[in-house]
Amino acid sequence: MTTIAVLGAGKIGEALLSGLLQAGRAPDRLLFTERHPERSAELSRRYGIRGTDVATAAAEADVLVVAVKPQDIEPLLTELAPAVGPGTLVVSLCAGLPTALFERRLPEGVPVVRVMPNTPMVVGEAMSAISGGRHAGPEHLTLVAELLGSVGKVVRVPESQQDAVTALSGSGPAYFFYLVEAMIDAGILLGIPRAVATDLIIQSAVGAATMLRDSGEHPVTLREAVTSPAGTTIMAVRELERHGVRAALLAAIEAARDRSEELGREHERD
């Protein structure tokens, strides 16, 4: 059975470990590394999995999942380079960082797969997009697709689309959380107690998401079905249009794509 080590078990690294355990992966086949001993001890206690150092993780694991912030990649690659061999698959979850960066810094021939997941991994509902680097063969992509398929949905995309994917689905859950937060505030504005407003909005979000996924209908059709002539919804939609919410979303997602590209460029000359 494949042993997986998560290097940098922060928010997304922990989401992956937790999702893999819930999907039935054996705890003794999972490892992680963390900078702070207290964090490491807490994760071991919470999940019954072993924290270790990068060299041990590289020696024991078949798959090394890099989940540090892009800004922290350099010291990690310096530690990893002498420890990793061509038989180990390196999977990067880092926004913006191209597979070519890893290939330059790691020994020749090490296969690298770039992945953009998202945090719903923790409930088995991740959206992950995967792209293979120069030395990644179909067997590596299949292995990564299986791994991430156990915690959500997986698509293969050309690496040139990964910055856009990062802006859409990598950051995507944050936009929905932001919208929910704003709608709960609207409930407060209208005098509804916070707990009730929270229930109303979260269940509406779950219902709407389930319809989007399961009905096979286009989002426009689903919205039209809520929008009665001279009714309440169209009054709200007019305000959304007046405040440029659609244009704001387009600009926001474009800005996220640009930042992903910039994170990659920051490492171009390394």
Which CB, 262 or 270, lies closer to ligand A1CAB? 262
Q: Which region, judged by CB under 6 A, interacts with ligand A1CAB, from 145-153, 163-171, 196-204, 245-253? A: 163-171
End-to-end CA distance of the chain: 35
Residue pair 117/91 in contact (Cβ under 8 Å)? The answer is no
Q: Is 170 in the site for ligand A1CAB (CB under 6 A)?
A: yes
Of the listed pieces 103-111, 112-120, 215-223, 236-244, which binds ligand NDP according to CB under 6 A?
Answer: 112-120
Query: Is 65 labeled as ligand-binding?
Result: no
Q: What is the DSSP string of the chain?
A: ---EEEES-SHHHHHHHHHHHHTT--GGGEEEE-SSHHHHHHHHHHH--EE--HHHHHHH-SEEEE-S-GGGHHHHHHHHTTT--TTSEEEE--TT--HHHHHHHSPTT--EEEEE--GGGGGT-EEEEEEE-TT--HHHHHHHHHHHHTTEEEEE--GGGHHHHIIIIISHHHHHHHHHHHHHHHHHHTT--HHHHHHHHHHHHHHHHHHHHHS---HHHHHHHH--TTSHHHHHHHHHHHTTHHHHHHHHHHHHHHHHHHHHHTTTT-
Question: Which residues make beta-bridge pairs with 127?
Answer: 153
Interface pick for ligand NDP out of 70, 120, 132, 152 (rule CB under 6 A): 70
Does 34 contact ligand NDP by CB under 6 A? yes
Candidates 5-13, 148-156, 221-229, 250-258: pick the segment binding ligand NDP (CB under 6 A).
5-13
Q: Closer CB to ligand A1CAB, residue 58 or residue 95?
A: 95
Q: Which of residues 84-123 bind ligand A1CAB (CB under 6 A)?
A: 95
Is the CB of 61 or the CB of 68 nearer to ligand NDP? 68
Residue 11 among known ligand-binding residues: no
How many chain residues touch ligand NDP (CB under 6 A)?
Answer: 25
C-beta closer to ligand NDP: residue 72 or 266: 72
Answer with the entry of ligand NDP, ligand A1CAB, none that 172 interacts with (C-beta below 5 to 8 A by kind).
none
| Residue 238 within binding range of ligand NDP, rule CB under 6 A | no
Q: Please report, as ranges, the residues that interact with ligand A1CAB according to CB under 6 A.
A: 95, 166, 170-171
Q: Which residues are annotated as a binding site?
A: 67-70
Q: Please report, as ranges, the residues that interact with ligand NDP according to CB under 6 A.
A: 7-8, 10-13, 33-36, 67-70, 72, 75-76, 93-95, 116-119, 170
